Structure 1
Amino acid sequence: MTRPYRVGVIGSTGRGGYGHRLDDCWLAEPRTEIVAVADDNKAGLAHATKRLGVDRGYTDYRKMIEETNPDIVAICPRWVDQHRDMALAAAERGIHIYMEKPFCPSLDQADEIVAACQQTHAKLAIAHPTRYSPKIATIKKLIADGAIGEVLEYRGRGKEDHRGGGEDLWVLGTHVMDMIRAIGGHPQWCFAIVSEEGDPVTAKNVVDGNEGLGPLAGDAIQAMYGMPDGSTAYFATHRKAGGNPSRYGLQIVGSKGILELLEGPLPPVKYLGDPSWSPGRSGAEWQNVSSAGIGEEEPLTDPLYRSRHGLAIRDLLAAIEEEREPIGGMEEARGATEMIVAVFESQRRGRPVDLPLKNRKHPLSMLG
């Protein structure tokens, strides 16, 4: 494409705003230009047009899409209750999408978005920055080369702050689930316990979640997943149980050691070459891992690798031009969402559930 990609930005001040700066990230990409912004809050819209340096502002995103016909729409709000409608408005016109996480609040909505994108060949990328990190390939190579031996477990945790439990699972767990899938593939089953003050949740515990999450329950979650290689993945979150430093992130535990991965486009990665998993026993020390390997200096110094969205945007543009799916595309977004929803489906049914889930409705709306 010789001309710049024309980007329409959708925000919603007071209802998720512009997420983790999904609006001004396009200014750093020379092959894109922001042509319009939509925000249903007039004050927020005025601020956004000035901040982004655009003349065309709309209070109705549908009108923006119709009148400007951008190549790409950035769906920025953190709140997910409008994600489906915003995505469908773009996808049905064949407009490509970059969307804030979480993807959407239920699998039936995820299915609608995927179907619409497939129908018009619109590309959709989700803002899971770790998925695009070159360190993912480094970790997979270290595992393949036997650095941690046989993979036994994936251990993920949320931030476990005031959002601990169901909200943490959605808001931060989506990153962890995507990390698990990026390295280990999609799970085959899930078994989970969702509790509130120590008791299994029931219909009386279901509330309308913050940030447009829809039905939500639980101040503690313990979930396990059967991985394709026979290992087990775990995710847990407990309200107000977070540490300082945080435990948020993912550990891949093997028979010979551990790899630890945090979130980001070039995130901290640590390696412990210790089959006991206990430096207190072995005297082993954690080592830094760069994109070049264990103990190596990081060769990637371009500011692009420090930008939360830069790698994702570059990959989306390449996916459009190469007619392929983005690295963090719609199926990856749906897969992370399915891992989250499976937690509540397992709780509803009181047993392990196979993936993909047969039930596409929100399990918490079906509790008796």
Structure 2
Amino acid sequence: MAEKYRVGIIGRTDRGNYGHGLDSVWREIDRAQVIAVADDDERGRWSARSRTGAERAYSDYREMLEQEQLDIVAVAPRWMNEHKDMMLAAAEHGCHIYTEKPFCRDLTEADEIVAACEMRHLKLAIAHQTRWTPTLDVVKREISKGLIGRVLEIRGRGKEDARRGGGEDLWVLGSHVLDLMRVFGGDPQTCYATVLENGEPVTGSHVREGNEGIGPLAGDAINAMYTLPEGATGYFGSHRGTAGDPSRFGIQVFGSEGVVEFLTGHLAPCHVLRDSSWSPGRSRKEWVPISSNGVGKPETLPRTGLHGGNVLAVNDLIDCIGNPEQQPKCSMYDARWTVEMIAGVFESHRTGGPVTLPLKQRENPLTLL
């Protein structure tokens, strides 16, 4: 095992930048050292070098990969139109990867990335930071012990703001929610969905180039249903301009004896309602907080937001690099499943009925409308 893992960071100033702290996290990782950064924007490049303590800076990430003997590469830009090329280049040079979400633009790209990493026995973790929050393990354990009885439904919502609600929300923020749905419900078996634009079913005429490098995109309202193992049903919805205050962004797990609400983020709020009617107004039962210490117990860990999640994720990735049999808590396979669930929404709408997951059709369904 390397004494200190040599890290390279890829950013794109004004085109996804450095994601949600995928550059700054390495300052707190004792087992890693930032060797170089790459950014084709000169001012952004030198700012990143100063911010990260990198020894060198490059205008082209390919040159960085050629010149430096790196162990790990952070693919930091939020925009995903170059994610595939960046990850394939990193894999070709034998580098493990920590990447910003969304993973990539379609399932053909996802398959290429997974195959490239598998070929070289590389590990990849994606920055769904909630996967590493200690509260998640507590909630999973308590649900398995019968906290809310038998799980019947899992409901997820995006942020549903005035700009991104609908298809963009599904990609950018829904990726977190769909990943959590799999955590509690398992791998979905089918998807049935409708995609609307101004109240009308989306057609080829609605398809446009999405913001932030998403690729083909359509829809200001998404309604999706997933069949999950053991009889539960998952739902995801996002309608533009209908955001809640406070936000509904997250999931609710409905069981025969109550409801768990789990929001996104490191140590984000989590509560349980032990009420089989799911109606506190009628039953007069109250929501009880769940912390990393258990149900109804106060949180004693510091709330460090996305940064705290990144620290846990990167340390987990490094642990997995040293263990050939271990995958990160949110691995390349989990990342591909998220793209699978998103693509399933558009493929179901395109075909007009339920589709089986994983999809046989791997192209972006919106290009086939």
Please say if residues 149 and 257 of structure 2, whose CA atoms lie closer than 8 Å, have aligned partners that are also in contact: yes
Normalised by the size of structure 2, how large is the TM-score?
A: 0.97
User: Structure 1 residues 306, 256: CA separation in 2 closer, same or farther (over 3 Å shift)?
Assistant: farther
CA–CA separation in structure 2 for the residues paired with 1:60 and 1:236: 39
Letter matched to residue 202 of structure 2: V
Letter matched to residue 338 of structure 1: E
Match of 1:114 in 2: 114
Cα shift at 1:144:
1.2
Cα shift at 1:302:
9.0
Please say if residues 287 and 295 of structure 1, whose CA atoms lie closer than 8 Å, have aligned partners that are also in contact: yes
SS in 1 for 2:286: coil
Please say if residues 266 and 306 of structure 1, whose CA atoms lie closer than 8 Å, have aligned partners that are also in contact: no
Please say if residues 37 and 56 of structure 2, whose CA atoms lie closer than 8 Å, have aligned partners that are also in contact: yes
Letter matched to residue 335 of structure 2: A
> What is the correspondence of 1:332-351 to structure 2 with a 5 Å cutoff?
332-351=334-353
- Deviation sequence 1:75-125 (CA, Å, 0-9, x none): 000000000000000112221000000000100000000000000011100
CA–CA separation in structure 1 for the residues paired with 2:2 and 2:338: 35
Match of 2:165 in 1: 164
CA–CA separation in structure 1 for the residues paired with 2:181 and 2:136: 10
Cα shift at 1:298:
2.7
SS in 2 for 1:98: strand
Q: Does 1:222 align with 2:227?
A: no
SS in 2 for 1:116: helix
User: Structure 1 residues 48, 154: CA separation in 2 closer, same or farther (over 3 Å shift)?
Assistant: same
Gaps of at least 5 residues in structure 2 are none
Letter matched to residue 13 of structure 1: T
Match of 1:206 in 2: 207
CA–CA separation in structure 2 for the residues paired with 1:65 and 1:97: 13
Letter matched to residue 84 of structure 2: R
Letter matched to residue 38 of structure 1: A
CA–CA separation in structure 2 for the residues paired with 1:35 and 1:192: 46
Match of 1:154 in 2: 154
Match of 1:129 in 2: 129
- Deviation sequence 1:58-77 (CA, Å, 0-9, x none): 01001001101210000000
Letter matched to residue 159 of structure 1: K
Q: Does 1:353 align with 2:355?
A: yes
Match of 1:177 in 2: 178
Q: Does 1:331 align with 2:333?
A: yes
Letter matched to residue 351 of structure 1: G
Q: Does 1:363 align with 2:365?
A: yes
Q: Does 1:82 align with 2:82?
A: yes
Match of 1:15 in 2: 15
Letter matched to residue 217 of structure 1: A
Cα shift at 1:251:
0.2
State which drifts further: 227-236 or 126-135.
126-135
Cα shift at 1:293:
1.7
Cα shift at 1:131:
1.1
- Deviation sequence 1:23-78 (CA, Å, 0-9, x none): 01100111111000000111111211121222311010010011012100000000
CA–CA separation in structure 2 for the residues paired with 1:119 and 1:247: 40
Please say if residues 110 and 334 of structure 1, whose CA atoms lie closer than 8 Å, have aligned partners that are also in contact: yes
CA–CA separation in structure 2 for the residues paired with 1:135 and 1:245: 20
Gaps of at least 5 residues in structure 1 are none
CA–CA separation in structure 2 for the residues paired with 1:180 and 1:278: 22
Please say if residues 136 and 182 of structure 1, whose CA atoms lie closer than 8 Å, have aligned partners that are also in contact: no
CA–CA separation in structure 2 for the residues paired with 1:242 and 1:298: 28
Match of 1:94 in 2: 94
User: Structure 1 residues 219, 258: CA separation in 2 closer, same or farther (over 3 Å shift)?
Assistant: same
Cα shift at 1:133:
1.9
Q: How many residues align?
A: 367
Please say if residues 196 and 222 of structure 2, whose CA atoms lie closer than 8 Å, have aligned partners that are also in contact: yes
> What is the correspondence of 1:171-320 to structure 2 with a 5 Å cutoff?
171-301=172-302, 307-320=308-321
CA–CA separation in structure 1 for the residues paired with 2:309 and 2:319: 18
SS in 2 for 1:167: helix
CA–CA separation in structure 2 for the residues paired with 1:303 and 1:230: 36
Letter matched to residue 251 of structure 2: L
Cα shift at 1:266:
2.0
Please say if residues 265 and 305 of structure 2, whose CA atoms lie closer than 8 Å, have aligned partners that are also in contact: no
Please say if residues 132 and 312 of structure 1, whose CA atoms lie closer than 8 Å, have aligned partners that are also in contact: yes
State which drifts further: 263-272 or 354-363.
263-272
Match of 2:52 in 1: 52
Letter matched to residue 325 of structure 1: Q
CA–CA separation in structure 1 for the residues paired with 2:338 and 2:270: 21
User: Structure 1 residues 349, 109: CA separation in 2 closer, same or farther (over 3 Å shift)?
Assistant: same
State which drifts further: 282-291 or 298-307.
298-307
Letter matched to residue 355 of structure 1: L
State which drifts further: 258-267 or 98-107.
258-267
Letter matched to residue 89 of structure 1: A
Cα shift at 1:300:
3.8
